[in-house]
Copies of this chain bind each other. A is one copy, B any other.
Amino acid sequence: MDSRFGPDRRATLSTPLALDGGATLPAIDIAYETYGTLSPARDNAILICHALTGDQHVASTHPRTGKPGWWSRMVGPGKPIDLNKHFVICSNVLGSCMGSSGPASIDPATGAPYAMRFPVLTIRDMVRAQGMLLDHLGIDRLRAVVGGSMGGMQALSWAATLPDRVEAVVVIASTARHSAQNIAFHEVGRQAIMADPNWRGGDYYADGSPPAAGLSVARMAAHITYLSEAGLTAKFGRKLQARADGQAGAKTFGFDADFQVESYLRHQGLAFTDRFDANSYLYITRALDYFDLAEEHGGVLANAFRATKARFCIVSFDTDWLYPTAESRNIVHALNAAGAPASFVELSSPFGHDAFLLDSPELDRIMRGFLEAGA
């Protein structure tokens, strides 16, 4: 097997990467995983792009949490993204903290972590870094780029940025630009992190005291946007925590987590701080907020798709209020205007934005059908 393929890979790519913000990174590390076997013609590769707090472990155990890959229900032999047919690549985005270059990386110029001296990135910068990884892997063209949420933005940016290198694009629960409300929620999270005295302008790596409290609050606020109101009501409603002695829950008339939804959110916040770097959270949310694919193409979204020959599949969920169906429809209108072949479906789910990560036989059927139509 090619030594570049397999688990726990990291490539150091020494071609300078000129960033949208004007800075140049002389070299970058990209951590990635591959699954399945690359065909002799090197024509069966699918790139899966992860979401804000995701990582390259799409179908393999997360090394820190020990949990299964975040999309292992979708990717595997015989699964909708079928490893008997496709070769799957998933790389940690530039700016993240799972092995790719980001604010926690050592700045070769100083020998210390970049922290806030790392350059601010865009989604397109992340995509360009993925293109460099493909060069390193000797893969010229992708059978497909697939992503949900921020991964979907990367998939769209792939078609616009490297139009000759991708044959099909799957965009799930995503958008072509961040809305004012999207930006607002992220800004709350950033302010929560930066208000934590442990943040110290980003230079917190030396002493093992990261801004965990701020990061936890940021995650809690964001997490609400991943769930639907109806889903929260169905799962938690106003149910109280059971008491330690096993008795049915009662209001404590204090500030402990009386309600199950409080306990759940606190847990989500806390667990996140074990696996994610606060500065990476700042950088990636910034890249998301900066994302406006039309703006990169003269203000006309259709222009982003004029150079590509790719087929597109756009999927939204009816209860997703983070990136509602109207945003997907906006993408489809632009694809139509550009003459790009596009299929679009809104799926019904009670689970809001998070639905793209959860069991969905309909999404499975759509994914399998769309990928195999191009095989």
Contact = CB atoms under 8 A, between A and B. Distances in A.
A356 B190 CA distance: 30
A237 B184 CA distance: 11
Given A197-B197, A233-B181, A253 B21 contact: yes
Contacts of A233: 179-181
B116 A259 contact: no
A107 interface: no
A184 B265 contact: yes
Contact of A229 (B178, B179, B194): B179
A217 interface: yes
A192 interface: yes
A83 interface: no
Contacts of A4: none
A232 B266 contact: no
B180 A236 contact: yes
A18 B119 CA distance: 59
Interface string A76-120: 000000000000000000000000000000000000000010011
Interface string A238-278: 10000000000001011101010110011001000000000
Interface in A176-198: 177-181, 183-185, 187-188, 190-192, 194-197
A292 interface: yes
Interface residues on A, range: 35 or more
Interface stretch (A162-170, A282-290, A340-348, A359-367): A282-290
Contact of A214 (B195, B251, B286): B195
Interface in A189-239: 190-192, 194-197, 213-214, 216-217, 220-221, 224, 227, 229, 232-233, 235-238
Contacts of A321: 229, 321
Contacts of A213: 195
Given A188-B265, A196-B195, A238-B178, A22 B183 contact: no
Contacts of A286: 255
B217 A191 contact: yes
A119 to B, nearest CB: 7
Contacts of A22: 253
Contacts of A192: 192, 195, 217
A255 B282 contact: yes
A22 B295 CA distance: 59
B282 A224 contact: no
B180 A237 contact: yes
A215 B22 CA distance: 36
Contacts of A324: 229
11 contacts: A120-B255, A179-B232, A180-B233, A181-B224, A181-B232, A183-B259, A188-B224, A195-B214, A229-B324, A255-B282, A321-B321
Interface of A: 20-23, 116, 119-120, 177-181, 183-185, 187-188, 190-192, 194-197, 213-214, 216-217, 220-221, 224, 227, 229, 232-233, 235-238, 251, 253-255, 257, 259, 261-262, 265-266, 269, 282, 286, 289-290, 292, 295, 321, 324
Given A183-B259, A187-B259, A187-B266, 16 more contacts: A20-B253, A120-B254, A177-B238, A179-B237, A180-B232, A181-B229, A181-B232, A183-B238, A184-B224, A184-B265, A187-B257, A187-B261, A187-B262, A188-B217, A191-B217, A251-B290
